[in-house]
């Protein structure tokens, strides 16, 4: 009888430990939700303006519209409550003939923006992994 009670207690403790284990924070929350994503986007735009490799690509672009669109895109991509209603990445970037160098510069500017907004490297990597598949829709060979 005592052995059975000990066994039941051990099973209960094991199950309790499993249910109380910390879950990984959602990427949306880890990025600071919509406000955090908007702050990262704003900083990224500031970085574009200083980046000789890509700043010419943004001349004449409505940066407020870009900020709202990119913020909503990322928010939706990381399962936030936002709904992205813009065009596909392929449609938006068609005909611009972005180079690998320009793509990498934009990624560099995004990483810098995340660093400037104190986003942990692990969270940065999670977002970059979500964004990586868009490469094929932006850079044409």
Residue ranges of domains in the chain, CATH in brackets? 25-134 (1.10.490.10)
Question: What local confidence, expressed as pLDDT, does residue 113 receive?
Answer: 98
Q: Determine how many CB atoms are found less than 10 A away from the CB of residue 55.
A: 14
**Are the C-beta atoms of 73 and 86 separated by less than 8 Å?**
yes
Residue 92 above 60 pLDDT?
yes
pTM of the complete model: 0.81
CA dihedral angle for residue 127, residue 61, residue 92, residue 57, rounded to 10 degrees: -80
The alpha carbon dihedral of 118, 29, 122, 90 has a sign of negative
Residue 88 above 80 pLDDT?
yes
User: What are 8-61's pLDDT values in tens digits?
Assistant: 554 544 554 444 445 779 999 999 999 999 999 999 999 999 999 999 999 999
Question: What local confidence, expressed as pLDDT, does residue 1 receive?
Answer: 53
Q: How far apart are CA 27 and CA 5, in angstroms?
A: 42
Cα–Cα distances (Å) from 16 to 9, 11, 12, 21, 108, in that order, read 10, 8, 6, 9, 43
């Amino acid at each position: 009888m005592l052995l059975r009670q000990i066994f039941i207690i051990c099973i209960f403790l094991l199950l309790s430990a499993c249910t109380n284990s910390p879950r990984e924070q959602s990427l949306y929350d880890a990025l600071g939700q919509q406000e955090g994503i908007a702050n990262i986007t704003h900083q990224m735009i500031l970085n574009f303006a200083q980046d000789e490799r890509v700043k010419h690509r943004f001349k004449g672009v409505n940066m407020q519209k870009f900020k709202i669109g990119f913020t909503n895109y990322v928010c939706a991509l990381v399962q936030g409550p936002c709904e992205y209603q813009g065009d596909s990445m392929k449609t938006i970037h068609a005909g611009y003939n972005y180079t690998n160098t320009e793509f990498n510069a934009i990624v560099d500017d995004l990483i810098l923006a995340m660093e400037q907004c104190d986003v942990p490297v692990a969270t940065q990597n999670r977002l970059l992994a979500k964004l990586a598949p868009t490469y094929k829709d932006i850079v044409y060979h």
